[in-house]
Amino acid sequence: MNIPKLKHSGSGNFFLIAGPCAIENRPMALDIAAKLVDITNRLEIPFLFKGSYRKANRTKLNSFTGIGDVAALEILKEVGETFDVPTVTDFHESHEAAMAAHYVDVLQIPAFLCRQTDMLTAAAETGKVVNIKKGQFMSGDSMAFAVEKVKSVNPDAAVFLTDRGNSFGYGDLIVDYRNLPVMQAHGVPVVMDCTHSLQQPNQSSGVTGGKPALIATIAKAAIAVGADGLFIETHPNPSEAKSDGANMLPLNQLEELLAKLVRIRKAIS
């Protein structure tokens, strides 16, 4: 896939999309990016830095949504320029695609919005790489139509699909690994979201829960199945994160996990 600034693509490793759930402030974003770049360079893992400029899908009205769209997007742009890495962010309304495209390399369609035709076509019109999260209510087969919508506007668009589990009752998700090869059959790279797939949504507290102890399990299985990439949200102190702390991986645990995953990838190659 032609992604600007993506390094180590010839290493044979999976690629990694990682970063904090939301851009909380400039020092934290730059610090996380510096550590991720160092780790992925040493392990020769192609790396894209991810951060949301705004969290529009929150359970409670008073939940943290962001520091301001332009302020957060400027930080994402600075990360990309400082470390010479591609950057990824999600957007939530079709008219925001052009704005976000001025700052990042990859536009991400949130899972709940993966059927929104206007969102998909707006992303395609920017000429940016498009990452489409598979809805928790969608099958891998049905994601072919999301890819088709992007390609109908821009036949040369680079697209990849990301699985983040399927709804299992009201408050849990389950990963069906059959969806990875099914979505690869659509002719696009496929990513496993190892952190959001462990969310426990719809909690009575109004704050989404999670099972971060199982992140390594999800990631190892995804690599064994043949995922092209992994999506892992990480934070220096998840308990203090302003969004999705309950299912993020502590930053100091990431390198050991990635080293194991590289070995698994080599073993199955």
Tell me the CATH number at 217.
3.20.20.70
Q: pLDDT at residue 203 above 70?
A: no
Q: Is residue 58 part of a domain?
A: yes
* Distance (Å) of CA 163 to CA 25, 108, 177, 180, 248: 28, 13, 9, 7, 16
Q: pLDDT at residue 219 above 90?
A: yes
Total number of domains in the chain = 1
Q: Is residue 156 part of a domain?
A: yes
Q: Is residue 9 part of a domain?
A: no
pTM assigned to the model? 0.95
Q: Is residue 8 part of a domain?
A: no
Structure tokens at 260: 């194991």
Neighbours of 151 (CB within 10 A): 17
Q: pLDDT at residue 62 above 80?
A: no
Q: Is 54 exposed, middle or buried (0-12, 13-18, 19+ CB in 10 A)?
A: buried
Residue of higher predicted confidence among 264 and 202: 264
Q: Is residue 46 part of a domain?
A: yes
Average the pLDDT over 15-35 and give the result: 98
For the chain, how many residues are written? 269
Q: Is residue 1 part of a domain?
A: no
24-37 exposure pattern, b = at least 16 Cβ within 10 A, e = fewer: beeebbeebbebbb
pLDDT single digits (tens) 162-201: 999 999 988 899 999 999 999 999 999 999 999 999 988 7
Question: What pLDDT is attached to residue 211?
Answer: 81
Q: Is residue 2 part of a domain?
A: no
DSSP per residue, the chain: ---TT---TTS-PPEEEEE-SB---HHHHHHHHHHHHHHHHHHT--EEEE-BS-----SSTTS---S-HHHHHHHHHHHHHHHT--EEEE-SSGGGHHHHHTT-SEEEE-GGGTT-HHHHHHHHHTTSEEEEEPPTT--TGGGHHHHHHHHHH-TT--EEEEE--EE-SSS-EE--TTHHHHHHTTTS-EEEETTGGGEE-S-TTSS-EE-GGGHHHHHHHHHHHT-SEEEEEEES-GGG-SSSGGGPEEGGGHHHHHHHHHHHHHHH-
Best CA proximity match to 15, nearest among 88, 104, 113: 88
pLDDT single digits (tens) 102-140: 999 999 999 999 999 999 999 999 999 999 999 999 999
Q: Is residue 3 part of a domain?
A: no
List the single range of 181-185, 227-231, 237-241 with lowest mean pLDDT: 237-241
Residues 6+ apart with CB under 8 A from 77: 87, 103, 104
Do residues 113 and 90 make contact, with C-beta atoms less than 8 angstroms apart? no
Domain that holds residue 235: 15-268
